[in-house]
Amino acid sequence: MPHQPRSAQPGQETPGPETDHTTPLQLSVDRTSPVPLYFQLAQQLEAAIERGRLAPGSLLGNEIELAGRLGLSRPTVRQAIQSLVDKGLLVRRRGVGTQVVHSQVKRPLELSSLYDDLEAAGQRPATRVLRNTVQPATAEVAAALGVPEGAEVRLIERLRYAHDEPMAYLRNHLPIGLFDCDTARLETTGLYRMMRSAGITLHSARQTVGARAATAEEAERLTEPSGAPLLTMERTTFDDTGRAVEFGSHIYRASRYSFEFQLLVRP
């Protein structure tokens, strides 16, 4: 997600090799594969767009013809196209056709953990677990997690480092019994990765991002001067059944971090 080291520059993407506008595009499906036909087609179209074989703005050819060419039914082809429309890669216009979206649309950023972000950025992340206990939920935590006030919840406090420098102070509350919350594993990986490997399917998160000046204690913990601007984030994460699986209340050194994310308009 969303978190990005300040140092990371949004590099300009180099254009792919010259697009071949003559051949109509090589597409085929494997009916012996367990992969759904619509999914195979969607993957191939997405790859073609990605590689520039389908130029931005170019028409895809009508659905009937595409279905005939692949030996598929029209609904199946439509399902493939629809999945790419949902991803924002294609646009359908009645009476016109289906075209590749103009300009390179960057793919939406994933809901990843700060740990993964740092690792992907080559920042050599490290974690120090300051606390890993079970406590009764305060009113705020109970409301966020949807548990009764006073119910036991796990509290985890961590310092996240990159290149041996503190980057963020992370405070998480989790429902107990959801998955094994081993301190040793917490030190070597991210919370979301632990959840995913426990079979939890993350679905959405609601966040509030703000800023404020660091207190003396916070400043010391993050090796910032007192009063330095901090980024604050509160996040409640939900799984695919709508249950809250995590409530976090974090602070980041604003001098080192900013959040990057993609918002989608829900029509």
Partner DNA sequence: CAGTGGTCTAGACCACAGC
Partner DNA sequence: CTGTGGTCTAGACCACTGA
Residue 96: CB minimum distance to a second copy, A:
11
Amino acid letter for position 149: E
Contact 41, 27 (CB under 8 A): yes
Residue 195 interaction partner, one of DNA, a second copy, none, beta carbon < 5-8 Å per kind: none
Place of tokens 């980041």: 252
Contact 70, 29 (CB under 8 A): yes
Check binding of 96 to DNA (CB under 7 A): yes
Check binding of 38 to DNA (CB under 7 A): yes
Written as one string, the DSSP assignment of 108-158 is PPP---HHHHHHHTT--EEEEEEEEEEEEPPHHHHHHHT--TT-EEEEEEE
Q: Please tell me the distance from the alpha carbon of residue 250 to that of residue 232, in angstroms, as a whole number.
A: 6
Of 62-70, 119-127, 162-170, 200-208: span binding a second copy (CB under 8 A):
200-208
Residue 98: CB minimum distance to DNA, A:
4
Of 63-71, 115-123, 145-153, 239-247: span binding DNA (CB under 7 A):
63-71
Check binding of 223 to a second copy (CB under 8 A): no
Residue 257 interaction partner, one of a second copy, DNA, none, beta carbon < 5-8 Å per kind: a second copy
Structure token pair of residue 148: 């009764």
Residues found near a second copy in the complex (CB under 8 A): 1-2, 4, 6, 12, 56, 75, 86-88, 91, 101-108, 110-111, 143, 146, 202-213, 227-232, 238, 240-244, 254-255, 257-266
